[in-house]
Amino acid sequence: MDFINRRRIALTALAASVALIAAACSSSSTTSAPSSSGSSSVPQISASSFNLSFSAMTAIKSLAAKGKGKVAVILPDTVSSTRYVEFDAPYLAKSFQKAGLTSSQYTIENAQGSDATQFSDAQAAITNGATVLVVDPLDSGVGSRIESYAKSHGVPVIDYDRLTLGGTRKYYVSFNNTFVGTLLGKGLVSCISAWHVKSPQVMVMRGAPTDNNATLFANGYLAVLQPLFSNGTYKDVANPAGTWTPATALTEFQAAYTAHPSANAALIPNDENGAPIIHYLITKGIKPNTFPMTGQDATLTGLQNVIAGYQCGTVYKPIYLEAQAAAALAMYLRAGLTPPAALVNGFATDVNTHVNVPSILETPEWVVPSTVESTVIKDGFVPASQLCAGSYAADCAKYGISG
């Protein structure tokens, strides 16, 4: 998803590191909350309350009557990352509906990949009565503009999925993105061992260098891999510039592979970048379970590559958790209340402002063939009928995947 094509521009900040803190933030973490969430009349939920039944949203329905105005969600695009259409938008809508909002009390917009559209969507939302914004910015430049504009109109902002560096948001909701990278790194190490790769020659690829999440992913997987490079267990043979565009990722990989034909493993930051690379390797005669490669986002193609033995695993981020967390925060803010301490379970550091942003950080999962059934299939994230179509039926049977 955290793991997912996006084109990010105008973000030159240093990497932000995310730190989970055992003690949740207190009400002093917020700047203006007229009422305390400690009141017995205020519903109490935690960051671990969210599930596929959306029962936590039903538990906070009383907040709907307490609140005023609309909640406006502004998502980044519908093209480079289809998750926003397929999962985020419907999960967010279901969350608001379960929490008691009518369709006229919330809006969900996609910016179609344009900073100007995203900013104008925010302006229009506030003009039309939004009292809370949930924003996943295309980049920190437009994110900061939106947050500055919202602040001047007294409207709190929740950063969704990506932290706006240099911004003025009140809260942040995402997955622990450094841990996403840790899962990628550990997944590759485990796979290199399981697939008996001798003298690992590793390419380390990354997402777009202008994307803060890509930096956090890299922080996680390099912490795992760098000691192995330093002690000579693995050889670091190539480090392409990075991108979230699959065609560009393929070009980068081909250039590196041509220069280093001994390469026999690759850290790939997401499934979509990995898909054309895997296809290319197959044309070069690479067999299953011989060239370890990682991925993220649990896409249909990525999961098929996993069960077929061309990809070690994929990082699965249950978006329904993230959507409910953001919607719950928005309900408390709309009602003028401080969210419960048990709901806000950590902080994310904005390295531009050196501010620790109160956050809800959900936990991703590393999915391998033997756990596909108990994770993405169980959650309905990918239908077994699609995953197991055609030549993949035998792979599904091998791993007991039936849905």
Domains of the chain: 18-176+318-362 (3.40.50.2300), 177-317+365-398 (3.40.50.2300)
Please state the rounded mean pLDDT for residues 383-387.
Answer: 96
Which residue from 182, 138, 178, 132 is spatially nearest to 157, judged by alpha carbons?
132
Which residue from 154, 145, 151 is spatially nearest to 116, judged by alpha carbons?
145
User: In this predicted model, what pLDDT tens digit does every residue of 176-189 receive, in sequence order?
Assistant: 999 999 999 999 99
Distance between CA 180 and CA 315 in Å, rounded?
A: 7
Mean pLDDT of the chain: 90
Res. 20: pLDDT tops 70 = no
pLDDT given at position 111? 77
Q: Which residue carries 């419960």 as its tokens?
A: 340
Please give the backbone phi and psi of residue 362, each rounded to the nearest 5 degrees, phi first. Answer: -85, 165
User: In this predicted model, what pLDDT tens digit does every residue of 72-88 receive, in sequence order?
Assistant: 999 987 766 678 888 99
Res. 251: pLDDT tops 80 = yes
- Residue 38 — pLDDT band, cuts 50, 70, 90? low
pLDDT given at position 86? 87
Distance between CA 174 and CA 163 in Å, rounded?
A: 8
Element (H, E) at 126: helix 115-127
Res. 30: pLDDT tops 90 = no
pLDDT given at position 41? 80
Please state the rounded mean pLDDT for residues 265-274.
Answer: 96
Q: What is the dihedral of CA 77, 82, 86, 89, to 10 degrees?
A: -20
Q: Does the pTM of the predicted model rise above 0.85?
A: no
pLDDT-above-90 percentage for the chain: 82
User: In this predicted model, what pLDDT tens digit does every residue of 193-232 receive, in sequence order?
Assistant: 999 999 999 999 999 988 888 999 999 999 999 999 999 9
User: In this predicted model, what pLDDT tens digit does every residue of 145-186 receive, in sequence order?
Assistant: 999 999 999 999 999 999 999 999 999 999 999 999 999 999
Res. 19: pLDDT tops 60 = no
- Residue 39 — pLDDT band, cuts 50, 70, 90? low
Element (H, E) at 216: helix 212-230
Distance between CA 75 and CA 54 in Å, rounded?
A: 21
Res. 16: pLDDT tops 70 = no
User: In this predicted model, what pLDDT tens digit does every residue of 124-135 receive, in sequence order?
Assistant: 999 999 999 999
Distance between CA 96 and CA 369 in Å, rounded?
A: 34
Please give the backbone phi and psi of residue 359, each rounded to the nearest 5 degrees, phi first. Answer: -140, 155
Q: How far is CA 11 from the centre of its chain?
A: 18
